[in-house]
Structure formats: C-alpha cells, structure tokens
Amino acid sequence: MIKDDEIYATHMMKIYMEEKEIVLPDEYFKKFNEYKEEYSLKPKSIKIPLPYSKLQEIEQRNIQNTEELSKQTIAAIQAIHDKSEKTLQTIAEETKKLREELSQMKVSLYIDELTKCHNRKWFIDNMLTENGDNFKESGVIAIIDLNNFKKINDNYGHNIGDQVLKLVGTMLQMTHLDVVRYGGDEFFVISTDEELTEKELECRLDEIQFDMMKKKFKIAKTKTELKYKISFAYGCSKFKKGDNYVSVIDKADEKMYKNKEKIKKMIKG
C-alpha cells in the first residue's frame, strides 16, 4: 500500500514536469530525489529514440514522457514497498541505460544538425545566466556574418547555400575554439580563456578569412565555378563575467560591419 506522502510526492513531480517546457531525465531524477530522498532507487526508465536532431522533437516527446514518468514513479515506490527484488533490479539496470542515453541526447540537443557546430541553445545554456542577459564567465567573442550569402542562395539554391554553411562552419572550427551557428548565416566564435586576447582571435580569423578568399569553389554537378567568392566578415569583443550580453554583441557587431566593408573592397561580387 502506498502512503499518502508518497502519492503527494508523485503528484508534486507531475505538477513540476507539467510546468517545465523540457524535462530531461537528469533533472527528473534530481527532483524525484528531492521529493522522496528516503528512497535510493529511481523510477524505471522509458525508451527514448535517439538521436534527437531538433529541439522541437524533444519538446513534443516530452509531453508524452511526462505522463509515463509519473506512472514509473508510482511503480518504483510500489516495488520498494512490495520488496520485489526482481523489479528493483530491472529499475536499476534501466536507469543505468537511461543515463547513457541521456549523455547522447545532451550532445544532440546542443549540436546544429547542418554544420555540426554548437547551436544557439548551447550558447544560451552554457554562456549566459538564467535570465539570458549576462555572461557567466569572462572571455572573448567574435560575430561572423557571411558575405553574399543571399545572392548564393537566390542564384544557386538552398542546397548550395547549405554546403557553403557547412564549409564555413568547418573552417571556423580551425580556430580550435567553440563555434556556434547562432542562426541563418551568422556564427559566433567564443572562448572563456581569459588569456586569449581580442587581437589573437582576430589573427586566427584573418588567416581563415584570407585562406577562404583565395580558394575557388565549383558546383559538383555542373563543374562550374561559383560566381561569388565565399567569404565572411567578423567583429570581436572582450567580455567580463556579468557583462550585458546585448552590449557586448553590439560592440562586436559594429566592428563586423566595418570589416565587411573592408572585405567587399577586396573581392568582386
């Protein structure tokens, strides 16, 4: 027989999960322990299809998971009371599997599917405070914006545009820093190494920038050369822990537009 306080704890878990947009298993275990800390075992896991490529898929799946996790909580508590060793062993084994799946899911949650760079959610969760207004740590950031990307998309189609984004993402990763595809054709290169100066980051980006502009790119199917040079402009800005995110980005953005004018004069198209 399950006690009233156990029913209450399970009920509180359900309310907690329904209030959250996304409840990862990791977070679920933590809250379950808070409500029922006298139990050493966690509820039985549910099978989660992997990998998740889009946050939207995780959100949709989470709606289904909420009810299922609630049921498994009751099952785990009942198994403890019934002293069902077999059930408890199953719960422990599946919990271990779920934790392994969780680590894989976290990777897919933070990866941009097209470029394999970090995505916007990674940047927000890892770099900014909970309110999204300030940086958690000190460091340096660069805003990257592609030149002529709209023209490439309009003239050659989104397929070629996607290949360009993948190329740029790959080349930016040559900085050996965190690269974020923030949205569209905008990337961030960011480091929380306080010893890395703005000038050093600029040097790394200059090298990639000029290397890219020297290259000639052809369309595989037609073997014809792209009419537009693939290039990007950048702007860098140092930031300190607690600095306002928008202010830092505005500074980098201003420098990026100056760099864009400089690059446009160097290339045709």
Residue 258 lies in a domain: yes
Rounded-to-integer distance, Cα 118 and Cα 116, Å: 7
Residues 78 and 140 in one domain: no
Residues 102 and 203 in one domain: no
Residues 105 and 164 in one domain: no
Residues 175 and 221 in one domain: yes
Confidence (pLDDT) at 43? 40
Confidence (pLDDT) at 99? 65
Residue 255 lies in a domain: yes
Instruction: Mark the ranges of the chain whose per-residue pLDDT is less than 70.
Output: 1-85, 87-88, 91-92, 94-106, 268-269
Residues 180 and 247 in one domain: yes
Number of domains in the chain: 2
Residue 186 lies in a domain: yes
Domain that holds residue 257: 120-266
Residues 244 and 137 in one domain: yes
Confidence (pLDDT) at 51? 42
Residues 184 and 80 in one domain: no
Confidence (pLDDT) at 216? 83
Q: Which of 86, 109, 132 is the endpoint of a domain?
A: 109
Note whether 22 and 59 are within 8 A (CB).
Answer: yes
Confidence (pLDDT) at 225? 82
3-state DSSP call for residue 165? Answer: helix
Residues 130 and 254 in one domain: yes
Cis peptide before 25 (omega within 30 of 0): no
Residue 148 lies in a domain: yes
Q: Count Cβ atoms below 10 Å from residue 252 Cβ, excluding itself.
A: 21
> What six digits make up the tokens of 62?
């989470």
Residues 42 and 103 in one domain: yes
Residues 140 and 260 in one domain: yes
3-state DSSP call for residue 11? Answer: helix
Residues 76 and 152 in one domain: no
CATH number for position 229: 3.30.70.270
Q: Which of 58, 88, 109 is the endpoint of a domain?
A: 109
Residue 204 lies in a domain: yes
Confidence (pLDDT) at 65? 54
3-state DSSP call for residue 101? Answer: helix
Helix, strand, coil shares of the chain, percent, nearest 5, are 55, 15, 30
Residues 103 and 40 in one domain: yes
Residue 114 lies in a domain: no
Confidence (pLDDT) at 90? 72
Confidence (pLDDT) at 47? 38
Residue in the structure block whose two tokens are 């809250």: 31
